[in-house]
Amino acid sequence: MHDIGFIRDLALVMLVAGATTIVFQRLRQPVLLGYILAGVLIGPHTPGMLVADPRAIDDISNLGVVLLMFTLGLEFSLRKLREVGVGVLLVAVAEVGLMLWIGVGIGGWLGWKGKDALFLGAIIALSSTMVATRTLAENGQREQPFARLVVGLLVVEDMLTIVMLTLLTAVAISGSVQAQAAFALIGHLGLFIVVGMILGLLLLPRLVDYVAAFGRDETLLVSVLGVCFGASLLAVWMGFSVALGAFLAGAVVAESRSVNRVLQLVEPLRDMFAALFFVAIGLKIDPAMLLQYALPALLLAAVVMVGKTLACSLGLFIVGHDARTALRSGLGMAQIGEFSFVIATLGLSLGTISAAIYPVAVAVSVLCMAVSPYLSRSADGVADGLRRVMPTSLRLLATSYSGWLENLKPVSENAALAALLRRLLWHIAINVLLVITLFVIGAYVNAHSWGWFSTLGIGRDLRHTLIWAGAMFLSLPMLIAVYRKSEALGMLLAELGISERLAGSYTRAIRNVLARVIPLATLLALTLLVSALGSTILPPLGIALSLALLCVVLAVVLWRALVQIHARLQAALKETLQSKPDRPDAGAG
């Protein structure tokens, strides 16, 4: 009877989804929003419910998740990731990290427990690939320059989704958010992805192309769906989620030569199972809980739209895109969607998060989906309005910055300046790696030699204090070198990039600001790096602040001596690398 009941429920879901598509197309509203509303209307929390079996709802949801994530993986493609560019990659990583941090902070401010706050941060960190791409298509904007940036950001976020889903699954299963457990889980994740991707890339694209050579569409479709469900089962067996396995399977199949044909076959299934997925989301929604958490949902929706717009726009502007294109791209990313629902469903299914998270996630997504088309259409108006209210000095600074980036582009034509830039960046990179190495050694000593410290009567806090202080003091010559090299880099870039033609009488002032901003930004980055590296060996807060202050004082007092020490180390390293092995004497024998 359950099988018949499932077919009945599935038929109702598809009938309602079909009607919703027609109605919302006529209303010129996002169809995905209509699917969710349809699920609410026929779900168990609404009078006159049509679908009430919890098992059927879960089955429909899981089926939708697997095939939706598989089709998103097909559109992901490692080739697209290679074409994204370093700038867009850095912007996407920074934006996701920032939104994750903001979400965790808001969760803590609302009084939610640690894992609830962590899942909330993950929910608001990822934009919706389906909502963003459909909005671009419906507005006829897919061929515009900003649309390519949006797609690039979404491709990187798809990659970050793999990492986030895996870590959240492991945290949910282990119940731990400690750094040591996180490193172990990252290793497990890395092993699964590397082995799976290598074996998959060696076997699956060839298999798909072999099947495609038969020329029978049904054989190819059944084969790739078998790969999809097989990868999902393998992921579950390895302790990960079905969504992760399906997404990786899609990404591997996307590397085959027949991927365009596979996409044509899977596209109708994608639309069908997207409908199933979003209707299943609506089936789980209790409207009463939506009203109960309306204020947090409104707050989070505003944070998502403003935070993602600012983070993406500012990031794209910094890496070299003009202000209008950057703003339009940021507005295109101002929403959350399917990945957020997958994360919320994951937390609920594993019993890790409270029931409040799901209605909040749905409410935030619905609000963002409803507003997203209007934000995209009004991007030019928003850009013109911001330009009118922007102070003249700020507008001049933005114009000068854009001109500076333009002036930097042909710098490779000047061999001497290009060599100097490369040498400065290379020195900075080497010194940062040395600092990282010292803290990694400290973390290793802390993890594997604590028994030796215990025999000397040294407790955990004193052990952390000694190791952290040692790593900091040994890092001082490298940290000072990084600061000095960044000063030189700032002056070089300021003189090179800011021309009098663009800045006029403000040329010297802007050059001075830029020359100081780069070393200050480097100091901030170093502070964050040292804080992250020393998280596992960090002493109590008061002791850490005292040691940091002592390091600053020592750096000021011993500046020249530390510079000389670093110069000697650098000369010794250079001599070692450039030395050639002695030749054996010809007469030896």
At 577 the pLDDT is: 43
What gap in Å lies between CA 397 and CA 80, rounded to an integer?
A: 34
What gap in Å lies between CA 248 and CA 492, rounded to an integer?
A: 44
Question: Which residues lie closer than 8 Å to 396 by C-beta, 6 or more apart?
Answer: 503, 506
Of 581, 139, 30, give the one whose Cα is nearest residue 376. Answer: 139
At 49 the pLDDT is: 60
Q: Are 481 and 560 within 8 A, CB to CB?
A: no
Distance of CA 167 to the CA centre of its chain: 13
CA distances from 206 to 209, 212, 259 (A): 5, 10, 11
Rounded to 5 degrees, φ, ψ at 144 are -80, 155
- Listing DSSP states for 405-419 in one string gives HHHHGGGGGSHHHHH
Is residue 94 within a helix (H) or strand (E), and if so which, with residue range?
helix 86-109
CA distances from 84 to 36, 151, 331, 533 (A): 32, 9, 19, 29
* DSSP code, position 505: G
Rounded to a whole number of angstroms, the CA Rg of the chain reads: 28
At 504 the pLDDT is: 61
Q: Are 240 and 195 within 8 A, CB to CB?
A: no
pTM over 0.75: no
Which tokens in the block code for residue 141?
């904007």
3-class secondary-structure state, position 111:
coil
CA distances from 71 to 63, 128, 207, 225, 247 (A): 13, 14, 18, 10, 8
Burial group, residue 430, by CB count within 10 angstroms (0-12, 13-18, 19+):
middle
Q: Which residue has the tokens 């050639």?
A: 580
What gap in Å lies between CA 470 and CA 499, rounded to an integer?
A: 45
pLDDT (tens place) for every residue of the chain, 589 residues total: 445 666 777 777 778 778 887 887 777 777 777 888 877 777 776 665 666 566 666 666 677 778 777 877 777 666 666 666 667 877 888 888 888 888 888 888 888 877 788 888 888 888 887 778 777 777 777 777 788 888 888 888 877 877 777 777 766 665 555 555 555 555 556 556 666 666 677 777 888 888 888 888 888 888 888 888 888 888 777 767 777 788 888 878 877 888 788 888 887 877 777 777 788 777 777 777 777 778 888 888 899 899 998 888 888 888 777 778 888 888 888 888 777 877 887 777 667 777 778 788 888 888 888 888 788 777 778 777 777 777 777 777 777 666 656 555 544 445 566 667 667 777 777 787 778 777 777 776 776 666 677 777 777 778 888 888 888 888 888 888 888 888 787 777 766 656 555 556 666 776 677 677 777 787 777 777 777 666 667 777 778 788 888 888 888 888 888 888 878 777 765 654 444 444 444 444 3
Question: Which residues lie closer than 8 Å to 395 by C-beta, 6 or more apart?
Answer: 387
Q: Quick one: how many helices (H) and strands (E) in the chain? A: 26, 0
* Rounded to 5°, angle at Cα 280 from 237 and 331: 95
- Listing DSSP states for 514-530 in one string gives HHHHHHHHHHHHHHHHH
At 174 the pLDDT is: 57
What gap in Å lies between CA 89 and CA 438, rounded to an integer?
A: 28
Burial group, residue 364, by CB count within 10 angstroms (0-12, 13-18, 19+):
buried
Of 91, 124, 90, 92, give the one whose Cα is nearest residue 106. Answer: 124
Residues of the chain with CATH 1.20.1530.20: 2-385
Q: Are 466 and 534 within 8 A, CB to CB?
A: no
What gap in Å lies between CA 464 and CA 145, rounded to an integer?
A: 51
At 107 the pLDDT is: 84
**Alpha helices (H) in 284-356, listed in sequence order:** 287-292, 294-318, 323-332, 338-349
Which tokens in the block code for residue 66?
């697997």
What gap in Å lies between CA 536 and CA 547, rounded to an integer?
A: 16
Question: Which residues lie closer than 8 Å to 105 by C-beta, 6 or more apart?
Answer: 117, 121
Burial group, residue 66, by CB count within 10 angstroms (0-12, 13-18, 19+):
buried
Fold of 2-385: Na+/H+ antiporter like fold (1.20.1530)
What gap in Å lies between CA 484 and CA 32, rounded to an integer?
A: 53
3-class secondary-structure state, position 587:
coil
Rounded to 5 degrees, φ, ψ at 263 are -60, -40
At 8 the pLDDT is: 75
- Exposure string for 412-422, b = 16+ CB within 10 A, e = fewer: eeeeeeeebbe
The Cβ of residue 307 has, within 10 Å, a number of other Cβ atoms equal to 20
At 584 the pLDDT is: 44
Q: How far apart are the first and last CA of the chain?
A: 91
